[in-house]
Structure 1
Amino acid sequence: MRTSLSRRSREPGPGEGTARARVDRRTKNLTKRLGPGQIAVIDHEDIDRVSAEALIACRPGAIVNAAASISGRYPNIGPQLIVEAGIPLIDACGPDLTKAIAEDTHVRLEDGVVRDAATGTILAEGTVLTAEGIQSAMAVAREGLSGQLQSFAQNTMEYLVREKDLLIDGVGAPDIITKLDGRHALIVVRGYHYKEDLQALRHYIREYKPVLIGVDGGADALLEEKHRPDLIVGDMDSVSDAALTSGAEIVVHAYRDGRAPGAERVRELGIDPVVFPATGTSEDVAMLLADDKGATLIVAVGTHATLVEFLDKGRSGMASTFLTRLRVGSKLIDAKGVSRLYRSRISGATMLTALFIGLLVLGLAMYNTPGGAIILQLIGARWDDLWAAIVGVFT
């Protein structure tokens, strides 16, 4: 399969079929500066759906991956989405890829070979993934899913032993200023279909006015939909300064030993954050916090709900998400469920009745004023003329 960039590139390069490389081992950092037609150079084993969708949205000319895009641990759908979007994916180029290709280097891709466009030097070699190859790899990955289930169960038990006090009694949750007692909490994670879910919930947000909690980049997702977050929870590695300074209360997710690298960034912005030491993911911390502070309902946007989504996250700590959902299960509902079940309290019949009453009141008011009476007489005369014309057509 020959990979050509001459048609896909959106920016000029020093030679036909070349494009500028953007390099970062962390995919979510790379997508912040990746432009159309550029080459994404990543080191991402088992590309998950969220990362794939973020890369596709940037419209790169191609993606070059140091790691195996499908390792066989479980059937991850990310590579399939990338190839279906028409983006060449060069796979398994080796661990030294991000060192061999410098940021802003103009490269040329041809048959899985990455060359320096200026010198012709081979910088890396990999395999061009095809739809057929991905299907075969996915079939193998499904066979290995049982081993991941066993590992998942073991991690779940280990997490339960470590965090039993927090999960059972809520011990360790810090005090916060934001009031959640007796209110709904809407927790937004920049995950699966978060944009569609937020748009579907706009009427619910307007009517119920839930406490809006953004988990890292979820705070920016709220701002994009013109909602100001009330609370931002996370390790602060993927949230913008604009979100952090929006007026929301900040809760930094720290390691269990108290180390909180994200707290320094927040303090540099002149904000004194709340620190919450806990294992697991930031979305787990947000759910446990909302539950501990008395939220009557927790609506989750973009969070992980299925076993494949847990594995797709690529962390052994995803066992914490499973147990957290058991902990807050009686209050937790997925955003899609709310958008399907929720209907505006004002029915169509009620709106028609209100319109009829309004017109009736307006007519009575006009009838009892000299000017209004004249207008009604003119309307009546026009109606008589219209009715006479209609009758004339049929007689």
Structure 2
Amino acid sequence: MIRGTARLGPRTKALINRLQAGDIAVIDHPDLDEVAADSLRQARVRAVINLSPSITGRYPNLGPSLLAAAGIPLLDAPKELGARLRDGDTIALNEEGCVFRDGVPVGAGTWLSPEVIRERLEAARINLPAEVERFIDNTLEYARREKAFVIEPLPLPPLRVSLHGRHALVVVRGHNYRADLAALSSYIHEVKPVLIGVDGGADALREAGWPPDIVIGDMDSVSDGALLAAKDVIVHAYRDGRAPGLTRVKALGRDAHVLAAPGTSEDLALLVAYEGGAELIVAVGTHSSLIDFLEKGRRGMASTFLVRLKVGARLVDARGVSQLYRGRPRPHYPVQIALAALVPAAVAVALGPSLRDLVRLVWLQARIWLGW
């Protein structure tokens, strides 16, 4: 029997902030995605009840497998169960999937064991080609509609933070974002890029010890602390100008700019960095693959396709940078590198500033690799 306090929320990423270790999360999240599952794992919940199918069969989503690997039980239950539970109820789940409150059964569901997850994912892989075809058709259709938005310059509001001529680091809570952000710590310390957090990406920066300079998004998953810590806040609005997130920002007593744009908030963040004159844009945790967008519930990626075409010359996608090399340098490597650096450094000093900049870049890359 699994016992714990039920925590309910219509949006998983908002519920995460209220979870405590040992809680039983009650979510309504069809095709549970990897980022949401990882956040549940980080919250150390005792179990997860999903009021929607955790694997619908549209595509092989990664969330259920992640929970299974972490040893967190996952129960798919009908939506009616949510109406019978209140936030804060003490509930119990038995091996058959029955849910009890105060000893009285209030509903039942199906446990997703590792074997069940594998079977359903295999069926989803068979369906994937048809889903890919629909995704491509939608992407091309919406790209034709939205191309004018990307072609025209984005009218930027006056920002306290200057982007011109600087590097910009755009952080999104996507796949492996924590490890990738940690791998870039030396780069952040050395180059001091403008730190742009996309919604919850602002909190990812704060968790890593870096206060965000700019927060961009619809404000549905960023903490009050991150909003108050940022120098600038840009609320992503619908194309008709409606900006539901602005109400929350104003309630905190701080000012904000509103930008209306199609597509995702991370697309808008890349455009803000580009139009602001950033010399280089480094992206962490951004979504760019088919599975990424299907996990976000999107039927196409038109705006992302167009935005990346526009900013591509300045964009460095740091996704997976933490996995490039996992070995540890041997003890004599730092000494060899230091000695080897003396010759080009001396030449650089003798021949001029351009070579000095090159040596500085090589040295920075070595420090990132060594973790200094």
Tell me the TM-score normalized by structure 1.
0.79
The residue type equivalent to 1:244 in the other structure is: L
Q: Paired residue for 2:256? A: 273
C-alpha distance in 2 between matches for 1:334 and 1:304: 10
- Given that 2:282 and 2:318 are in contact with CA atoms closer than 8 Å, whether structure 1 keeps it comes out as yes
The farther-off stretch of 170-179 and 150-159 is 170-179
Q: Paired residue for 2:100? A: 116
1:120-163 superposed Cα distances (whole Å, 9 cap, x missing partner): 2x222111111111111111111111222122223223332332
How much has 1:172 moved relative to structure 2?
4.7
How much has 1:323 moved relative to structure 2?
2.8
Q: Paired residue for 1:69? A: 54
C-alpha distance in 2 between matches for 1:149 and 1:326: 21
- Given that 2:170 and 2:198 are in contact with CA atoms closer than 8 Å, whether structure 1 keeps it comes out as yes
Q: Does 1:222 align with 2:222?
A: no
Q: Does 1:27 align with 2:12?
A: yes
Q: Paired residue for 1:44? A: 29
Q: Paired residue for 2:84? A: 100
Aligned pair partner of 2:274 in 291, 296, 305: 291
In structure 2, the residue corresponding to 1:63 is in which secondary structure? strand
Which of these two proteins has the greater Rg computed from alpha carbons?
1
The residue type equivalent to 1:101 in the other structure is: L
Aligned pair partner of 1:60 in 45, 52, 57: 45
In structure 1, the residue corresponding to 2:18 is in which secondary structure? coil
Q: Which has the higher relative contact order, 1 or 2, with Cα contacts under 8 A spaced 6 or more apart? A: 2
Q: Paired residue for 2:74? A: 89
The residue type equivalent to 1:58 in the other structure is: A
1:138-195 superposed Cα distances (whole Å, 9 cap, x missing partner): 1111111122212222322333233222212324554534321221110001121111
Q: Does 1:182 align with 2:182?
A: no
**How many residue pairs get matched?**
333
The farther-off stretch of 62-71 and 331-340 is 331-340
Tell me the TM-score normalized by structure 2.
0.83
The residue type equivalent to 1:72 in the other structure is: G
In structure 2, the residue corresponding to 1:163 is in which secondary structure? helix
C-alpha distance in 2 between matches for 1:268 and 1:347: 53
> Which portions of structure 1, spanning 4 or more consecutive aligned residues, are displaced by more than 4 angstroms?
171-175, 336-341, 350-353
C-alpha distance in 1 between matches for 2:153 and 2:271: 7
Q: Paired residue for 2:185? A: 202
How much has 1:277 moved relative to structure 2?
0.5
Unaligned runs of 5+ in 2: 326-333, 344-372
C-alpha distance in 2 between matches for 1:209 and 1:288: 20
How much has 1:352 moved relative to structure 2?
8.3
C-alpha distance in 1 between matches for 2:15 and 2:188: 32
Q: Paired residue for 2:174? A: 191
How much has 1:62 moved relative to structure 2?
1.1
C-alpha distance in 1 between matches for 2:40 and 2:286: 19
C-alpha distance in 2 between matches for 1:50 and 1:135: 19
Q: What is the Cα-based RMSD across aligned positions, in Å?
A: 2.3
